[in-house]
């Protein structure tokens, strides 16, 4: 069921405005737990907007809610999320002597989460 996709971490203006208010609030938590995904990929995996998906890397895993993007905006196989507590869960600590952990273009396993309560 799980597929390997490429996860890009980044920033968004909404994240930027929200973190000025608080990093502990619900708004910031929501933004940093949203995963943008190509709509065709979502359809294939049986996902719709707000569905939960589990991302897994050798470093750890995180559950996010997905949001569809058209192919022209986000190619198939590419995922985007903003940096935050959940992206941290997926990042490995090895910096290859650079100080910088790889935080863009991570290979992640993507797996829909069947949630009793949610869609």
Closer Cβ to other proteins, 2 or 102, answer by number: 102
Closer Cβ to other proteins, 6 or 54, answer by number: 6
Q: Are strands 104-112 and 3-10 parallel, antiparallel or unpaired?
A: antiparallel
> Residue 27, interface with other proteins (CB under 8 A)?
no
> Residue 26, interface with other proteins (CB under 8 A)?
no
Pairwise CA distance, residues 51 & 115, whole Å:
9
Question: What CA–CA distances, in Å, run from 40 to 49, 64, 76, 101?
Answer: 12, 18, 7, 30
Is 90 in contact with 7 (CB distance < 8 Å)?
Answer: yes
C-beta of 30: minimal distance to other proteins in Å? Answer: 15
Question: What CA–CA distances, in Å, run from 1 to 29, 30, 59, 75, 85?
Answer: 27, 26, 20, 20, 26
Pairwise CA distance, residues 78 & 80, whole Å:
7
> Residue 4, interface with other proteins (CB under 8 A)?
no
Count of residues engaged in binding other proteins, rule: CB under 8 A: 45
C-beta of 98: minimal distance to other proteins in Å? Answer: 5
One residue of 100, 114, 116, 117 binding other proteins per CB under 8 A? 100
C-beta of 28: minimal distance to other proteins in Å? Answer: 9
**Which residues in this chain contact other proteins in the complex, by CB under 8 A?**
6, 8-13, 16-18, 20-24, 59-60, 72-75, 78, 80, 83-85, 87-105
């Amino acid at each position: 069921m799980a597929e390997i996709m490429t996860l890009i971490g980044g920033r968004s203006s909404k994240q930027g405005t929200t973190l000025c208010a608080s990093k502990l609030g619900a708004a910031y938590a929501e933004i940093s737990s949203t995963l943008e995904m190509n709509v065709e990929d979502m359809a294939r995996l049986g996902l719709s907007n707000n569905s939960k998906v589990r991302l897994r890397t050798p470093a750890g895993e995180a559950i996010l809610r997905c949001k569809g993007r058209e192919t022209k905006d986000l190619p198939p196989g590419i995922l985007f999320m903003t940096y935050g507590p959940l992206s941290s869960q997926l990042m490995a600590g090895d910096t290859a002597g650079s100080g910088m952990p790889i935080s863009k273009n991570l290979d992640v396993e993507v797996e829909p989460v069947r949630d009793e309560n949610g869609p």
